[in-house]
């Protein structure tokens, strides 16, 4: 096999898949860092976002690139609603109850998708897209857009966290919640803001997974484990870590078929998760220890 084949058939799909994982993992790391629980509905929230975009494309007749920001807004609002009507009631209780509740939310979201959109696989656009070739490297437009969009979205989030008052409040809440409260940070506002951002990131992850593969009710759920592995690999609470973790998991998964049977691909994220927890529980970039 030549180097070009390695790049074209394994590295590029790996980076694309990794970018999708990264979008999800950033959301997971934000929930972990600021709200301090494992959000098991993350994958199904991504499914919901992906299907919201499908509704806009198929029923509303809008362009997919218009559908993306709209779906992000819808999914962000949905996440705020889920927090308000479910998680918020449990905030004084042990966190494990919220984790369990999020599993229930995951099942609910999936059921909504199945009831509203059915159980068939769907796509945003029909027809086969031929990859373009640049100096022997074959890449589809949608693959290029996925990676660029991931970098763009993460850059905007990064800027927001570093330079705005409420972004800093989110970081402060993640860093030292008691001191943040003593400083007058409104916990409720930070929580709502976090959910809005997390919902938007979920929709983006779901959208790009749907764009590059196809939409089905289980698409997000099957992505949950790799997204968690990416967040923990990068270091919990670390946005940049989640991006690196996502890319690593995506690339390793695609490359793995060179060495192990394809059926075991799904188990790979689990193996990486176990290894990182054993060897370096803080993740690659020093994150919180769970």
Partner 1 sequence: MLQKATSHVLAMQEVRGGYGDADILHGVSIEVAEKEIVVIVGPNGAGKSTAMKAIFGLLKVRGGSIMVDGTDIAGWTPNRIVQHGVCYVPQVNNVFREMTVHENLEMGAFLNKGDFTEACDRVYALFPDLRERRRALAGNLSGGQRQMVAMGRALMLSPKLLLLDEPTAGLSPKYMEQIFEITRGVRDSGVSILLVEQHAKQALAFADRGYVLAAGQNRHEGRAADLLADQEVAEMFLGG
**Could you say whether residue 180 binds partner 1 (CB under 8 A)?**
yes
**Of residues 1, 59, 128, 182, which one binds partner 1 by CB under 8 A?**
182
Between 64 and 193, CB nearer to partner 1? 193
The DSSP line for the chain is --HHHHIIIIIHHHHHHHHHHHHHHHHHHHIIIII-S--TTHHHHHHHHHHHHHHHHHTS---HHHHHHHHHHHHHHHHHHHHHHTGGGGTTS-HHHHHHHHHHHHHHHHHHHHHHH-SS-B-SS-SPPPPEEETTEEE-HHHHHHHHHHHHHHHHHHHHHHHSHHHHHHHHHHH-HHHHHHTT--HHHHHHHHHHHHHHHHHHHHHHHHHHS-B-TTTTHHHHHHHHHHHHHH-TT-HHHHHHHHHHHHHHHHHHTTTS-GGGHHHHHHHHHHHHHHH-TTTTTT----
Nearer to partner 1, 59 or 182 (CB): 182
Residue 167 Cβ vs partner 1, minimum distance, rounded to whole Å: 10
Residue count, binding to partner 1 (CB under 8 A): 16
Segment 228-287, which members bind partner 1 (CB under 8 A)?
none
Least gap, CB of 245 to partner 1 (angstroms): 18
| Chain residues 140-179 in contact with partner 1, contact rule CB under 8 A | 165, 168-169, 171-172, 174-176, 178-179
Quick one: 26 or 79, whose CB is closer to partner 1?
26
Does 36 help bind partner 1 (rule: CB under 8 A)?
no
| Cβ 180 to partner 1 shortest distance, Å | 7
Q: How far is the CB of 185 from partner 1 (least distance, A)?
A: 6
Residues lying near partner 1 in the complex (CB under 8 A) are found at 165, 168-169, 171-172, 174-176, 178-185
């Amino acid at each position: 096999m030549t180097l070009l084949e390695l790049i074209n058939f394994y590295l590029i799909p790996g980076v694309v898949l990794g970018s999708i994982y990264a979008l999800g993992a950033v959301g997971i790391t934000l929930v972990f860092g600021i709200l301090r629980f494992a959000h098991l509905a993350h994958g199904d929230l991504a499914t919901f976002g992906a299907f919201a975009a499908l509704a806009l494309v198929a029923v509303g007749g809008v362009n997919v690139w218009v559908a993306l920001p709209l779906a992000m807004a819808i999914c962000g609002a949905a996440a705020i609603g889920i927090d308000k009507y479910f998680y918020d009631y449990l905030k004084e209780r042990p966190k494990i109850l919220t984790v369990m509740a999020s599993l229930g939310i995951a099942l609910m979201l999936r059921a909504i998708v199945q009831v509203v959109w059915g159980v068939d696989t769907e796509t945003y656009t029909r027809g086969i897209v031929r990859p373009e070739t640049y100096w022997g490297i074959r890449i589809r437009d949608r693959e290029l857009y996925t990676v660029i969009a991931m970098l763009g979205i993460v850059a905007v989030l990064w800027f927001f966290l570093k330079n705005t008052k409420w972004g800093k409040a989110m970081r402060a809440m993640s860093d030292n919640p008691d001191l943040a409260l003593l400083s007058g940070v409104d916990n409720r506002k930070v929580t709502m803001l976090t959910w809005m951002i997390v919902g938007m990131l979920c929709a983006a992850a779901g959208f790009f997974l749907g764009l590059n593969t196809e939409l089905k009710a289980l698409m997000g759920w099957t992505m949950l484990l790799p997204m968690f592995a990416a967040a923990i690999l990068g270091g919990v609470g670390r946005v940049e870590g989640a991006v690196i973790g996502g890319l690593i998991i995506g690339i390793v998964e695609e490359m793995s078929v060179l060495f192990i049977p394809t059926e075991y691909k799904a188990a790979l994220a689990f193996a990486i998760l176990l290894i990182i927890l054993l060897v370096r529980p803080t993740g690659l970039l020093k994150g919180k220890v769970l």
